[in-house]
Amino acid sequence: MKVLVLGVDGYIGWALAQKLVKKGHEVYGADNFFTRKRVREVGSDSVLPIPPISRRLLDFRAHYGKSLVFYRGNVTNPKFMYDLFRKVKPDAVYHLAEQRSAPYSMIGLKQANETMVNNIVSTMNLIYAAKDINPDVHIIKLGTMGEYGTPNIDIAEGFFEVEFRGRRDTLPFPRNAGSWYHWTKVHDSNNLMFANRLWNLRITDVMQGVVYGTSTAEIKDSRLFTRFDIDEVWGTALNRFVAQAVAGLPITPYGKGNQKRGFLSLEDSINCLNIALEKPPGDGEYRVLNQFDQYYSVNFLAETVRDVYGELTGNEAKIEHVRNPRVESEDHYYNPDHAKLRELGYKPSGDLRGDIRNMISDLMEHKEKCLLLRKVVMPKTLWRGSPGVS
Ligand code: USQ
């Protein structure tokens, strides 16, 4: 298949491209290096070294014996998106090219607007390019479990049957996001659903949990590393906790730490995204997949990292609850469905402690870099402090 990965230079994009080429697909990628640039702007960097794209592409070719055809450009530019579709004529396209950080979207109005435009406009461009140029393409769009929020009832997988005043209907499960970033994903889902109704586009909308990990089955060589962020803006919970332990910093559950989220390893994320490709929805179908392995509380993850780090190194990592910079429930019910990917063949690796052990070993080799980034690890971006125009 001809597969186009938008956002191929990112954490998931680069790992996914390797999986796809190994599976025998023709892989095309696009990126404008937004993440590299914005990560530098908050004084941070990927802990695992990632070379410039020119070097990455050479190493990719040397390792896999096949090229990744790369296009540099901005997916919020409709002309760039249309040209890509005309040149590549993809059978499937992954949209991983959105601004992906909740804290980044909460820094202030400028970043909130940038996130809105980047994410919503890029998805609109994708919808129209698909409709005008290649209406049979399978769109695999990365959404987030955070679209649903944390309601006090079970969370369905996209749609649910509801009875109200004696009448029944199947409706989209309510979305109630917790950052401007997460809301952009809700808007995207609404737009994709409507595009499907208008033009019968074939769409998989992936509600993905928090991804963790330093490698995948493909990434066995440091020249193939994907990025790994640990700062307060671009790093995510479990990745940060492991890096904090390695750097001798306190592990930081926010607030009470009883908030729960769905988590999955990078390896599982790539496998699920590959299953979505290999088992596509029917013609004209819009489907939603809740993509995560298990849900955990932040406290449970912090304690597990502390324990595994202790077993592996004999050193003690400290846990320090810090004031929650976010506006979110810290104690809540959480029970999302996640059956569909399993029905399609997803077998979770299911070894959280083993994954954490591997991450600790990988990061120990880059301990200096973790130490260098110490200044940008503690949370500074306050949800309620988000400034407008000064
Ligand atoms: N958290 C801590 N301590 C930290 C960092 C985070 O307690 O040092 C807590 C947060 O308060 C939150 C939870 O961990 O309750 C998850 O935060 P996160 O930063 O790991 O993840 P989040 O901001 O929700 O976003 C990440 C990705 C995003 C993806 C999302 C999936 O950046 O792209 O969509 O995970 S989900 O969380 O399911 O919506």
Q: Which domains does the chain show, CATH number per domain? A: 2-376 (3.40.50.720)
Ligand 1 pocket residue status of 252, Cβ below 6 Å: yes
Q: Is the pLDDT of residue 281 over 90?
A: yes
94 is catalytic: no
pLDDT tier for residue 65 given thresholds of 50, 70 and 90: very high
CA distance 68 to 4: 10
- pLDDT tens across 342-355, in order? 999 999 987 999 99
Ligand 1 pocket residue status of 119, Cβ below 6 Å: no
pLDDT for the residue numbered 33:
98
- pLDDT tens across 180-209, in order? 999 999 999 999 999 999 999 999 999 999
- pTM confidence score: 0.98
Tokens of 251: 């592990």
- The answer to whether the CB of 158 falls within 8 A of the CB of 84 is no
Strand segments (E) across the chain = 2-6, 26-31, 69-72, 92-95, 138-144, 159-164, 167-172, 202-208, 210-212, 260-265, 286-291, 294-297
Q: Is the pLDDT of residue 247 over 90?
A: yes
- The answer to whether the CB of 266 falls within 8 A of the CB of 212 is yes
Task: State the sign of the Cα–Cα–Cα–Cα dihedral 209, 214, 218, 223.
Answer: positive
- pLDDT tens across 37-54, in order? 999 999 999 999 999 999
Full DSSP string of 250-304: PB--BTTS--EEEEEEHHHHHHHHHHHHHSPPPTT-EEEEEE-SEEEEHHHHHHH
Coil vs helix vs strand at 315: coil
- pLDDT tens across 138-181, in order? 999 999 999 999 999 999 999 999 999 999 999 999 999 999 99
pLDDT for the residue numbered 239:
98
Q: What's the gap in Å between 91 CA and the centre of ligand 1? A: 32
- pLDDT tens across 101-145, in order? 999 999 999 999 999 999 999 999 999 999 999 999 999 999 999
Task: Please name which of 106, 186, 153 lies closest in space to residue 384, comparing C-alpha atoms.
Answer: 106
- pLDDT tens across 52-62, in order? 999 999 999 99
- pLDDT tens across 296-327, in order? 999 999 999 999 999 999 999 999 999 999 99
Catalytic residue among 185, 260, 340, 369: 185
Cβ count near 57 (within 10 Å): 17
Q: Report the chain's mean pLDDT, rounded to a whole number.
A: 98
| DSSP 8-state class, residue 8 | T
Q: What's the gap in Å between 1 CA and the centre of ligand 1? A: 33
Catalytic residue among 94, 104, 181, 296: 181
pLDDT for the residue numbered 141:
98
pLDDT tier for residue 220 given thresholds of 50, 70 and 90: confident
170 is catalytic: no
Strand 167-172 with 159-164, pairing: antiparallel
Q: Is the pLDDT of residue 390 over 80?
A: no
pLDDT for the residue numbered 200:
98
The alpha-helical segments, DSSP class H, found in 134-260 are 180-199, 237-246
pLDDT for the residue numbered 75:
98
Among 183, 261, 264, 332, say which to mutate for ligand 1: greatest number of ligand atoms within 8 Å of CB.
Answer: 261
